[in-house]
Amino acid sequence: MTGYPGFGVLLAALSDRRELDIGVLARRAGVPELELQSVFAGIVPSPSLLRKLGPALGLHAEDVFVIAGATVPDDLAPLDAEARRWVPYVVEHAVDLPSEKRGELRHLVRSLPRGKLLQPPSFPQLYDAPAGPPGALLVRMLRYRNLGWMGMARIFLFMTGRYWSASTYGMVGAGRKELTPDLVADFGTLLGIPAGDLAALTGIALSEVPHTPEPAVAGVAELIRDLRRLTADQVRHISEAAASMRPT
């Protein structure tokens, strides 16, 4: 797959991967089968349909919007661009925590009031439809976790051991760096999405050896996603809390 094939093609690939026919998927999403058939045929889906397809496919709603090349609604997008500087610090500490402490950290994140900004958030650079290469799709999904290239580079290192420069992830998004099976699997670790699903979306066949994320990163992908709706001050607070939980 060298270019963006359209949402209908990607939806069909995911459905095949899950062994779902249109009728079953329509029932799961609670939409008329005819409406779903039109999307498979290439009709642009409505935002309400994209939201319903998330739980039907076992995906987060914002990821379905990204896969569709659609503008992600403000309530699903990162709240505060300034918060992204603190996310790698949270991850750096979280991967060193025992599983029960990571659970406490996620509980703390979810207990915080949802942040509010005086000005509405604006991420115009994220609203462009996927550029063509499949790497753009995966990079954009991470951007909606409130990660810039530098944050991606650091978190890939903490969670997968992959040591690349920030600009290299820009090259992946632009199609100038090959999207390999092991890289697809590593994206799955950061996104919390099965590597097989990402393989279906990108057309990249995985290696024969099953990819199993290390126990140290269990739950960290969901922690990253939870952080995207917090303010910079709140994420900084979480990073300090995570540091205090680390074994001495």
Question: Structure tokens of 8?
Answer: 């209908």
**pTM reported for the whole predicted model:** 0.91
Under 8 Å between Cβ of 85 and 233 = no
Please, what is the angle between helix 149-160 and helix 87-94, to 10°?
A: 0
Residues 189-241 pLDDT 10s: 999 999 999 999 999 988 765 556 666 688 999 999 999 999 999 999 999 99
Superfamily classification of domain 7-67: lambda repressor-like DNA-binding domains (1.10.260.40)
Closest CA to 140 of 78, 63, 206: 63
The Cα 103–Cα 159 span in angstroms is 17
What's the whole-number mean pLDDT along residues 157-173? 93
Residues 153-163 pLDDT 10s: 999 999 999 99
**Numbered ranges of CATH 1.10.260.40 in the chain:** 7-67
For residue 38, what is the enclosing H or E element?
A: helix 33-40
Closest CA to 28 of 6, 71, 59: 59
Instruction: Kindly give, in sequence order, each residue whose CB lies less than 8 Å from that of residue 204, ignoring residues fewer than 6 positions away.
Output: 1, 134, 179, 180, 181, 184, 198
Residues 107-154 pLDDT 10s: 999 999 876 655 545 544 444 445 468 898 999 999 999 999 999 999
